[in-house]
Amino acid sequence: VTTASDSGAAPATAAAGDKPLRIGELAELSGTTPRTIRYWEELGLLDAGSDRAEGKHRSYSHADVERVSEIVRLRNLLGLSLEELSSLLEAERGRAHLREELSHTESPAERRRILEQLRGHIDAQLELVRGRRRELDQLAGELEDKQRRVRERLGETTG
């Protein structure tokens, strides 16, 4: 139902990229459940697809698989609330809009302004991810220390 793809990755085959998907297929391909997708749609995280008669089946595209997969990934890795995720995704829609704008403007000053906004958004997201990674590195480091100490003591025992 939604159509715009953000990633620009070409589908494996042109034909496969066009086949409409049912909610169960979308869920499986993006690592979640139909219930979760309906819930996200209810909250406005996902597009409701404007014109679906009550009781009729939802229909999705492969671009939706990209989008839902990314939300699932961000949720799992960053542990954000859906409200936080929502604003992050809104920023991402904003970026898509900026790219659109960029492709239509010639003025170097304008192009520069748009690109700098894009950079700001990406930098912010990157800082979030790097912060998490630092914490995980710290934890991994501590575990590696423990591991090393046990290995040394194992080396001391005979056998």
Partner DNA sequence: TTGCTCCTCACGTCACGTGAGGTGGC
Least gap, CB of 104 to a second copy (angstroms) = 15
CB 48 within 8 A of CB 60: no
Please state, in angstroms and rounded to a whole number, the distance separating the CA atoms of residues 45 and 90.
9
Q: Which is nearer to DNA, 84 or 101 (CB)?
A: 84
Nearest to 23 by CA among 41, 44, 4, 50: 41
Q: Rounded distance, CA 40 to CA 95, Å?
A: 21
Amino acid at 158: T
For the window 55-84, what string marks contact with DNA as x by the rule CB under 7 A? xxxx----------------x-----xxx-
Residue 54 is a binding residue for DNA (CB under 7 A): yes
Judged by the rule CB under 8 A, the positions of this chain that interact with a second copy are: 73, 76-77, 79, 108-109, 111-112, 115-116, 118-119, 122-123, 125-126, 129-130, 132-133, 135-137, 139-140, 143-144, 146-147, 150-151, 153-154, 157-159
